[in-house]
Structure 1
Amino acid sequence: MIPKLDLYKEKYSIESADEIRPGLEAMEEAMQSLGHPEKTGRFIHVAGTNGKGSTVAFLDSIARAHGLRTAAFTSPAVTDLHDQITIGGEPISESGLDRAFSQIQSANLSGRLTDFELLTTAAFLAFREAQPDLILLEAGMGGSLDSTNVVDPEVSVITSVALDHTGFLGGTLSEIAAHKSGILKPGKPGVIGPLPEEAMEATVSSASKIGVPLHVYGRDFRLDWRTFTNSRTFCNLEPGLDGPHQRQNLALAIEALLLAGIRLEEAAVVQGAGSASVPGRFEEIAPNVFLDGAHNPAAAEALVRTVREKFGREAKVHFLIGMLARKDYQTVIRLLEPVAESMTFVTFPHGEAATADQLAAAASLPSRRITLGEVQKAERFATSAPTVITGSLYLLSAIRPLFLQNTKD
């Protein structure tokens, strides 16, 4: 479910499937039909269970601070599909998407792609038209069979590996890592975040088979507090995104840009790191109200660390939570409870959303600290404690416009 995609599909009489269909055959055929837009430009490709969007944000912000014109493709949407395709740091315009979908229509691709493949194709067409200096590409799910994996990037980045999308990627860390390692390309450098041992072994094995030189966080480069070090040193770095895990994401971005041959200057790195932002990544959408898309256990653990760093180790917050039924919401809720003053559970508009009752049944807080709510009234659930709205990014997509509208009013 990609917000507002149906408007373009209807406008250009294009049909596509709202389903996950792993494989590259359809994308490769589409790229050939359109004259291979994926072969135009310099790419950095980013995969990982968590941290992909934040790493792309750091890449984009630092590159633009150095005067480069960037383009980026991220997922899923937090507001609508225009936010998923950015050029020069700005969402693509309606007219820009119109031109891309017109080309898709002319190529007779209706009925041959999934929704995500369709949007990925539109992104490649928009990037070919814009001709940016650097294109930043976030994999949607996995890596090897993801629709973005038709490019030949200068650098590939794997931010993290944890259990998620197990029905498609496998039930072990090594299986998931093997999928994500599929974005690595022969002879091109790979930047690797701090992975669990099982995942690291699978990644190293995949890389060695195709001659990929790996640059591993903690071994080849690191960011200690505010200082990045490898063969270069950059000091006074303050990430614009909250949470201790964002220092790792920032370090991955800096290392990837260096490997891509970008001549980095400390002042511009500091500026870019500090100005990076991502909707829905511990975003303060209203006073004392934060949005964070912690949709799996690893992301929930990172959110707990962020809450404690932001408000103090003994602090408690109010959570408003909505999640997809196929996600491990039981573990996510259990991990969040130690920093929860109270929890409100909601059902949000999505065919796979868990009900508020299902989510509440997974909680072990005293019943007086648990309530059921409605997405449309989310702004009323603020308490004296900080409020964190979390779970599915589809929930944030439904709630974020409500707060933005209230701000305008």
Structure 2
Amino acid sequence: MQYSEALAYLYDRLPVFHRIGARAIKPGLDNIEKLCAALGQPHTRFKAIHVAGTNGKGSTSHMLAAIYQTAGYTVGLYTSPHLKSFTERIRLNGHPIPEEDVAQFVTRYQNLIEEVNPSFFEVTVAMTFEYFARQAVDIAVIEVGLGGRLDSTNIIKPVLSVITNIGWDHMDLLGDTLGQIAFEKAGIIKAQVPVVIGEKHSETEAVFRSKAEQEQAAVYFAQERYDITDQGIQAGKRQIQVLERSTYGQPMRFELDLLGHYQLHNLPAVLQSVSLLQHTFPVTDEQLQTALGSVTRLTGLKGRWQVLRQHPYVVADTAHNKPGIQSLLEMIQGIPHRQLHLVIGFVQDKDIESVLALLPKTAKYYLCQAHTPRALSADDLYQKATGAALQGQVFPDVNDALAAAVAAASAEDLIIVTGSTYVVAELQDL
């Protein structure tokens, strides 16, 4: 079986979340346990950091991977979904899994796949574990797909668990209160495995403390340890000053190549994680600074405040829920511009109305849709946007929408492409 045939088999044979949404999910760990048992329990043969959260878990995972790569370790990185190629999901020292390995895995285990009848995501996770075990990684950074407690990745027992934050997303699956959502994410906390919580909130703190106490796991709220000062963007990198509250010694200074303002919320969890693992995976201050300034180069991360051109200033960002859009709007306020243009599209199962209510009415809107069955049609989005007093035009494709925005913009304008990972993924020049 060739790579293209293997991929077609996986997409055609198995339920895929990014195509059909919640119907693709098979809650529970039974299928992944069956797959991993047949594969020889590969998830037990490497050390891992497990990363969950409503927003920021992808960026946090990439930052951690970049840090340990720079420190000389062999690092596996698993994230989802991908933007351009399926192989992006599974990386070894920043390099995507070879297409031949994907094809060989599907060919070798086709009978097993048909016997277990897993989801697309479950097969992907099993493939990841088998690849990382075979490559004898020193450390793997594993991003949760959705939630935590019932996510297929939760079969691992990591050396560290990380929960970046809790916000409103996937309420149909995770619950309609922050406490319920936190309960699902807290499911990754394991017995006697320390857990880092990136952001502290009154509605969720008790949930994490209760689960950690139950599991006899030490819990660390990273926001309490570090004072973060944003010093703006200079020479194409965000300048950050970090002061550790327990010492109040000399501040640390970092230049982040991930420019989004929301990275200030992710950084404390990253620093806390590195500190906790220092005895097992030592990292020098110089390696830490080098890595955080080169995350995109080291790991291939795209779509997080990714600058596509300068005049007009065009940015792609995968913000796709209310907390993510709020952070994006904060970033926009700090960027000098004459007119704001928003190229935007969503999937159907988001709380579209609450997101549209956040958006500035003075912006010009270019409404589009991704080419996936989950996408909200551009015509439906137009109706919802009009109801929210937002003025815009409809385009069948994100590239057409962006071209129209660039044509209409002056050199001093700001254009943002956002609303859905799948919309950003279809940009030709990403």
TM-score calculated relative to the size of structure 1: 0.90
Q: Distance in 2 between matches of 1:360 and 1:136?
A: 39
Q: 1:267 aligns with which of 286, 292, 300?
A: 286
Q: CA RMSD in A?
A: 2.5
Shift of 1:374: 2.5
Tell whether 2:66 aligns with 1:61.
yes
Cα distance, 1:352–1:14 mapped onto 2, change above 3 Å: closer
Q: Is residue 284 of structure 1 aligned with residue 310 of structure 2?
A: no
Q: Deviations over 1:170-206 (max 9, x none)?
A: 1111111000001111111100011431122212111
- Is this contact kept in 2: 1:78–1:397, CA < 8 A? yes
Structure 1: gaps of 5 or more residues: 405-409
Aligned to 1:251: 268
d(CA) in 2 for partners of 1:195, 1:104:
43
Aligned with 1:256: secondary structure?
A: helix
Structure 1 segment 313-352 matched on structure 2, within 5 A: 316-337=339-360, 341-352=363-374
Give 2:317's aligned amino acid.
D
Match of 1:113 among 113, 118, 126: 118
Moved more, 273-282 or 8-17: 8-17
The secondary structure found in structure 2 opposite 1:403 is: coil
What CA distance in whole angstroms lies between the structure 1 residues aligned with 2:381 and 2:66?
A: 37
| Paired letter, 1:319 | L
Residue equivalent to 2:392: 370
Q: Does the CA-based 8 Å contact 2:348-2:375 persist in structure 1?
A: yes
Measured after TM superposition, the shift of residue 305 of structure 1 is: 1.4
In the alignment, the residues of structure 2 paired with residue 368 and residue 51 of structure 1 have an alpha-carbon distance, to the nearest angstrom, of: 28
Matches within 5 A, 1:173-184: 173-184=178-189
Give the one of 321, 329, 333 matched to 1:304: 329
Report how far residue 100 of structure 1 moved: 2.7
Q: How many residues align?
A: 396
Distance apart, 1:302 and its partner CA: 0.8
Q: Kindly indicate whether the alpha-carbon contact (under 8 Å) linking 2:83 and 2:421 is maintained by their aligned counterparts in 1.
A: yes
1:367/1:164 CA distance change after superposition, 3 Å: closer
Q: Which residue of 2 aligns with 1:216?
A: 221
Deviations 1:368-395 (A, max 9, x none): 9411113142441222222111011111
Change (3 A) 1:65 1:9: closer
Q: Which residue among 32, 37, 41 is the counterpart of 1:32? A: 37
Instruction: State the 1:121 CA deviation.
Output: 1.0
Deviates more, 1:218-227 or 1:68-77: 218-227
Contact 1:222 1:248 in 2 (8 A): no
Match of 2:122, SS state, is: helix
For 1:41, the aligned partner's letter is: F
Match of 1:407 in 2: none
One-letter identity of the residue aligned with 2:157: D
| Equivalent residues of 2:35, 2:116 under 8 A apart | no
Distance 1:304 1:108, change over 3 A: closer
Amino acid paired to 1:325: Q
The amino acid across from 1:66 in the alignment is A
Per-residue displacement from partner, 1:220-275 (whole Å, max 9, x unpaired)? Answer: 34434412526687611122212222022122112112212322211111111111
Which piece of structure 1 moves more, 41-50 or 342-351? 342-351
Where structure 2 has 5 or more consecutive residues not aligned to the other structure, the ranges are 17-23, 231-240
Q: Which residue of 1 aligns with 2:244?
A: 229
Distance in 2 separating the partners of 1:366 and 1:178:
33
Q: TM-score, normalised by structure 2?
A: 0.86
Distance 1:6 1:351, change over 3 A: farther
Greater mean deviation of Cα atoms: 96-105 or 251-260: 96-105
Aligned to 1:285, the other structure's residue is in SS state strand
1:167 paired residue number: 172
| TM superposition shift of 1:142 | 0.1
CA distance in structure 2 between the partners assigned to 1:218 and 1:243 by the alignment: 18
Retained in 1: the 8 A contact 2:342–2:365?
yes
Q: Secondary structure at the match of 2:357?
A: helix
Q: Is the 8 A contact 1:12 1:105 kept in 2?
A: no
**One-letter identity of the residue aligned with 1:322:** G
Match of 1:403 in 2: 429
The alignment-based identity, stated in percent, is 27
